[in-house]
Amino acid sequence: MITRPQHIAHTTAPVIETERLRLRMPRYEDFAHRQAFYASDRAVWEGGPFAAEQAWKIFASEVAQWPLMGFGPFSMEDRLTGEYLGEVGVYQPLGYPEPELGWYVVDHAEGRGLAAEGARAVMAWAHRTFGWDHIDNYIDPGNARSIALGLRLGGVQTDAPGADPTDVVIRHNLRGLA
């Protein structure tokens, strides 16, 4: 069972570095990338596409999880160039049964293993920081690429509840991650 931290663990996101990525607190200028994503056909798996105003509400509420809950999204950027590549993090908006591991990458960064690299780093961070023994993905059943990635990351499909009754729920065992 996942329990919400009893204290505010972070008022901002820590910086996590991987071989190719720097995961950091989202900044205002990152919203332009999220807005483009939410306006595109790719947002169908998130309930979109969305107009800019709705995209802002989603982005702002997710970033606000950091001081409210001690976790949230990390912006992913190239460690060498600083180029914005997408987002990965822990999300739990109202109605989610547990914190969820989620991700997205900008169009030109797809297919390079960046979401997997970022997700592995976030899973290890969540285990170290909160002591969680698992984290789930809640994925629309039509989003074959995200389902495949969740399984490639070592997750197992489960019948646990998701954010939506039709969600494919993939559970990741965090025990043993450092």
For each of the chain's 178 residues, which pLDDT tens digit applies? 455 555 555 678 999 999 999 999 999 999 999 888 888 777 667 776 788 898 899 899 999 999 999 999 999 999 999 999 999 999 999 899 999 999 999 989 999 999 999 999 999 999 999 999 999 999 999 999 999 999 999 999 999 999 999 999 999 999 987 6
| Three-class SS state of 104 | strand
C-alpha span between 42 and 53 (Å, rounded): 18
Q: How far is CA 143 from the centre of its chain?
A: 15
Residue 24 has φ and ψ, to the nearest 5°, of -145, 175
Question: What angle do helix axes 31-39 and 52-63 make, rounded to 10 degrees?
Answer: 130
- Residue 25, pLDDT score: 96
ω before 165 within 30° of 0 (cis)? no
β-partners of residue 86 are: 76, 105
Query: What Å distances lie between residue 108 and 77, 116, 119, CA to CA?
Result: 13, 16, 18
* Tokens found for residue 90: 């822990």
Q: Residue 77's pLDDT is what?
A: 97
Tell me, which fold does domain 16-173 have in CATH? Aminopeptidase (3.40.630)
pLDDT number for residue 45: 74
Contacts of residue 25, defined as CB under 8 A and 6 or more positions apart, other chains included, come to 12, 13, 15, 63, 66, 74, 75
Q: Taking the model in full, what pTM does it have?
A: 0.91
